[in-house]
Amino acid sequence: MNLSSYPHLVKEWHPTKNGDLTPNDVTYGTSQVVWWLCPKGHSFDTSINKRTSMKTNCPYCSGRKVGQDNNLLALFPDIAKEWHPTKNKGLTPKDVTSKSDKKVWWLCPNGHSHESVVKNRTLNKSMCPDCSNQSSEPEIRILSELKWFFDEVNSRYKVDGVEIDIFLPNFNLGIEYDGKYWHKDNEDSDLKKNKFLLSQDINLIRVREHPLKSLTENDVVVRINRSLEKTDLDKVLKKIYPFVDNSTKEKINTYLRKPSFVNDELFKKYRSYFPSPFPEKSILKTHPELSEEWDYDKNYPLRPENFSYGSGNDLWWLCPKGHSYERSLNTRTSHGIGCPYCSGRKTLNYDLWK
């Protein structure tokens, strides 16, 4: 049987690089290497049986090879701007794909130098850890103070997959903290989120760092030096005021007369968890079955309580049969992929065990 029985591959047969050879001249199972031209115009060579039996596709479209249109600079120019100018030993954003597993150095707009895998920046949207932690502190200050008022205060609450920083379920009210680093170019997506939540009968109050501007009349703009001031929380509470019942309004009036924060001990407790997630959000609580497979020796000093279920970090696991293997956390939580040896995807070399 020749290759013409695979019409989708015939369409990708390179029109000029295979000489006089045609799809009618080769069998579908041959290991002969020929040239292909994918629908996006990428030219590549691979064997025919890899395309028919192993379903191998274009290495550029899949991110296995770097090309002019799939490198980091081409697809994510804003992220490429943070490529560290001196620490990557001559490697440039043009030399890696947007899905690369390579760990490289970055330099954020605030001058923080940090290391991260390329695909964690592009796929998992990881950002500068220093700036991230700075954004976390004001958020947990707001969370801590609100727990003085409300019986139910949810952190990182999701509505149809859309996450709200802080949610007050009894009043269908959300509070977002918009750090300037994270939200400087996000106005359209922030407004889209507002619109979606409003369609779910959820009002949203945004606390936005200067120089970010208010998006709606519900927003509060704050100037951050090191942390939020009590006067900043007063502004937030005044925005919350119209959405709550009379007994809560009385509490707010009492709070506004106080000179300092009322829940400082809780704030200090929460802050001690960072950069780890809150205990109830860590995989120790959300995925206890994975915590039991944590390889404490190879992951030391990291522990399950240091990570939430969506982390893209590559970590070490020890399955119930004693196989040690490395896999990203979100691959285990989102895709349910476990031990490669037990599943037969990898074979143990028993000579190494003798």
Convert the pLDDT of each residue in 192-202 to its tens digit.
999 999 999 99
Residue 218 near residue 249, CB atoms below 8 Å: no
Is residue 196 situated within a structural domain? yes
**The whole model's pTM is what?**
0.52
d(CA 52, CA 40): 20
DSSP code for 216: S
Q: Do residues 189 and 89 share a domain?
A: no
Residue 336 near residue 318, CB atoms below 8 Å: no
128: which strand partners?
Answer: none
d(CA 174, CA 142): 12
Element at 60 (helix H, strand E): none
Q: Do residues 150 and 266 share a domain?
A: yes
Residue 3 near residue 26, CB atoms below 8 Å: yes
Residue 179 near residue 135, CB atoms below 8 Å: yes
Instruction: Say which residue, 276 or 5, is predicted with more confidence.
Output: 5
The SS3 of residue 190 is helix
Q: Do residues 349 and 253 share a domain?
A: no
Q: State the DSSP string of 286-331.
A: H-HHHHTTB-HHHHTT--GGG-BTT---EEEEE-TT--EEEEEHHH
Distance set, CA 21 to CA 3, 18, 37, 175, 338 (Å)? 12, 6, 15, 64, 44
The per-residue pLDDT for range 136-157, each reduced to its tens digit, is 788 889 999 999 989 899 988 8
Radius of gyration of the chain (CA): 26
Q: Do residues 122 and 35 share a domain?
A: no
Res 301: pLDDT = 52
**The domain containing residue 202 runs over which residues?**
131-271
Q: Do residues 206 and 235 share a domain?
A: yes
The per-residue pLDDT for range 202-223, each reduced to its tens digit, is 999 999 999 999 999 999 999 8
**Residue type for 109, please?**
P
Is residue 339 situated within a structural domain? yes
The per-residue pLDDT for range 97-109, each reduced to its tens digit, is 988 889 999 988 7
Query: How many CA within 13 A on the CB side of residue 70?
Result: 17
Structural domain count, the chain = 4
pLDDT(263) > 50: yes
Q: Which range among 197-201, 284-288, 307-311 has the greatest average pLDDT?
A: 197-201
Question: How many other β-carbons are positioned within 10 Å of the β-carbon of residue 185?
Answer: 8
Is residue 59 situated within a structural domain? no
pLDDT(181) > 80: no
Q: Do residues 216 and 177 share a domain?
A: yes
The closest alpha carbon to 240, from 182, 173, 167, belongs to 173
Res 350: pLDDT = 44
